[in-house]
A and B are shown apart, each in its own frame.
Chain A
């Protein structure tokens, strides 16, 4: 399973970006081998409109199954649902804390 975290910059100890679609980067955790990869979201960040749709397309290309973020708009929700990506809301401030939060609260997802 691949879990994406909306983050401000690369590096797992760095801050989560509270916004889903306008996050600079997605850090993707692979549960099979406990590794991280990343997907650059700057082109969605700079989009005049439809950023959330672009961001979801990026996640689809990266075969993401779930996304952990603090906030998610109605268009993003609609697109994520169509793509079959589950959303988990967190208020944790860094990627590692958000991952711990996710693993503790949703062990059944793994």
Chain B
């Protein structure tokens, strides 16, 4: 079973939940927030391997090209354009479908590999960590997510630290989850973005429960109230405590610093696995 920590808004506490839960249960952790992976900062371990992730991009043989424009008309992502007396390609926009190589009547287009990121394996003190990390400037990151997720063993328990939001990277990561922990910051902003994520989860038919994080008195249990009103599953509130913030800014696991939290994370894991295995 694979459990993902996801959130509509960034900074809601996905990594906080994911690393502490993985450490408490000694469960393999997959950091699929490939544009800004940070689970390794909290999850002690040594790097054991690193593999490059590549994808195919077109190369145009200018000698063969007649500037007919078939390739640019075909490309839905505008990664190729006939401009003046040349074909300009924008590899960062390419989705590697290979269509241009097929429609070119001159067979002037071939494919080459472009590096877009890497997948790094760590042998963790608590459990293994697999991290996907995209190269700076890479616009299309789901292939990095899919490569890193390829290390998930569906027969074992696994935890995913997902990208924030409800865009392509987030949904690519969540496609591997059997169950989603929606981590919502207990604020109007957190509520707004959680609503979008929940709509995406409904569309993807993913079971979930909500954890309200950084819960503050001043907002009066906004997230919990919303979940009750809309009959969405709600698991618990985690208060906005200074010691949580200081553990996170030190790069420490909260369960190490405060044994009370070890029980809380065990409890989260137990309630999720009990209901859904």
State whether B139 touches A49 (Cβ < 8 A). Answer: yes
State whether A49 touches B93 (Cβ < 8 A). Answer: yes
State whether B84 touches A54 (Cβ < 8 A). Answer: no
State whether A78 touches B77 (Cβ < 8 A). Answer: no
Give A68 to B173 CA distance when docked, in angstroms. Answer: 42
State whether A57 touches B77 (Cβ < 8 A). Answer: no
Tell me the smallest distance from the CB of A60 to a CB of chain B, in Å: 6
Instruction: Report A-chain residues with C-beta under 8 Å of the C-beta of B86.
Output: 82
State whether B139 touches A56 (Cβ < 8 A). Answer: no
Our pick among A54, A82, A83, A84 for the contact of B78 (Cβ within 8 Å) is: A54
Contact with A along B20-51 (1 / 0, CB 8 A): 00000000000000000000000000000000
Task: Give the dominant DSSP class at A's interface.
Answer: helix
Instruction: Report A-chain residues with C-beta under 8 Å of the C-beta of B136.
Output: none
Give A56 to B88 CA distance when docked, in angstroms. Answer: 11
Our pick among B83, B84, B90 for the contact of A50 (Cβ within 8 Å) is: B90
> B79 contacts the other chain (Cβ, under 8 Å)?
yes
Q: A49-B77, A50-B79, A57-B72 are in contact. Are A78 and B84 (CB under 8 A)?
A: no
Give A83 to B87 CA distance when docked, in angstroms. Answer: 10
Seed contacts A49-B139, A50-B77, A83-B83; 15 additional CB < 8 Å A-B pairs: A48-B77, A49-B78, A49-B93, A50-B90, A50-B93, A53-B81, A54-B78, A57-B81, A57-B83, A75-B90, A75-B93, A78-B88, A79-B81, A79-B88, A84-B84
User: Can you list 30 pairs linking A and B with CB atoms under 8 Å apart?
Assistant: A47-B78, A48-B77, A49-B78, A49-B93, A49-B139, A50-B77, A50-B79, A50-B93, A51-B78, A53-B78, A53-B88, A53-B93, A54-B78, A56-B81, A56-B83, A57-B72, A57-B81, A57-B83, A60-B83, A75-B93, A78-B90, A79-B81, A79-B88, A79-B90, A82-B81, A82-B83, A82-B84, A83-B83, A83-B84, A84-B84
On A, residues with C-beta under 8 Å from B are 47-51, 53-54, 56-57, 60, 75, 78-79, 82-84
